[in-house]
Chains A and B, each alone.
Chain A
């Protein structure tokens, strides 16, 4: 901030002190801000990442601990899921759901890498890239369902 770090730290903490003393409310934020395209895509990137990690760890853990199997059996993943869930159609839905989540996270990750290089950062390009993302996910899912 300035030349004297001790004085600056005192000034900074003075503002925080003022906030604790005066009992002022914080203006509402999360519940009142209308969901924007930008913030929705960002929070779903984080949520899809969490879902993918939890899916991966839970499936690996159940295979190793519950079934005591080797990982060479991972090649037959949908059949393992159907053994777990005891019905074929539910396993397909779970597989489809996790495939959607994985596709969303990967494509949005590519978009994040494009952003880090500095491209496609204006608002018009934001709308375009978001719609291309949704279109890509839906088209890959459509092709997958066609080939089933």
Chain B
């Protein structure tokens, strides 16, 4: 476990800063007929990269190669490594290891079915995303020119298009925990608002009619856990409130 790398950090202050931390990770294996358990791994901060994802990769490389998790870009843009770290949902590649806590507890995304270890099942999430028809429906016939959009109209999409569909917000919403089969969840509703507010889209009325439903939209009770936990600092709660306002205005 003590790995000497050539670029290992050397402390110039001389104080014995405690570099060792323990990672408590939720594990479950479908082939073993057992209940989920915790595995505890020690890591040294100065021989590991700065983020939780680096620690996970180091554990998988040197300590326990059966640890399973999703990862891809390591820079917070793909949304693969979303998990619950120390009680809040975040991307592992964006969550720093340099906290004052000795134990870092990692769970998969709350109230999602676990395929293995830290990997949740997203099929329900993707089906809900498909149900809002996340594509442009324009009323232009086959035209040889681009469909132009003014700067003001394009500004409406800022804060909505950056969503990476990591599902951190939906997995943090207690309303989505209790009604995940019917309620669409903040991530999908943010994307629904992105298509409603797009000036090039012509099916706004049918989108709003689809969302004007007791379970699909109005299970949101403005708990605002979603905006608090978004790793990209987006605001799904505000978008859901705007959808409700648009439905009531019609």
Contact = CB atoms under 8 A, between A and B. Distances in A.
Interface stretch (B2-10, B52-60, B117-125, B139-147): B117-125
B52 to A, nearest CB: 15
Interface of A: 1-2, 8, 11-12, 15-16, 18-19, 22, 24-30, 32-34, 36-39, 42-43, 112, 115-118, 121-123, 126
B113 A112 contact: no
Contacts of B36: 25
Interface string B96-113: 000000000101111111
Contacts of B137: none
B227 to A, nearest CB: 6
Given A36-B225, A38-B228, A12 B127 contact: yes
Given A15-B123, A33-B88, A122-B235, A39 B111 contact: no
Contacts of A12: 127
Nearest to A120: B238
Interface of B: 26, 28, 30, 35-36, 84, 86-88, 105, 107-115, 120-121, 123-124, 127, 130-131, 172, 174, 177, 181, 221-225, 227-229, 235, 237-238, 241-242, 244-245
B131 A1 contact: yes
A28 B25 CA distance: 13
Contacts of B108: 27
A50 B181 CA distance: 27
Contacts of B124: 15
B237 A121 contact: yes
A76 to B, nearest CB: 38
B87 A26 contact: no
A28 B115 CA distance: 14
Main DSSP-derived SS at the B contact region: mixed
Contacts of A16: 181
Contacts of A121: 224, 227, 235, 237-238, 241
Given A15-B123, A121-B238, A30 B181 contact: no
Nearest to A37: B228
Chain B CB within 10 Å — which of A29, A37, A42 has the most? A29
Contacts of B127: 1, 11-12, 15
A36 B177 CA distance: 16
Contacts of B120: 27
Contacts of A37: 228
A117 B245 contact: yes
Given A22-B30, A27-B107, A38 B223 contact: yes
A38 B110 contact: no
Nearest to B36: A25
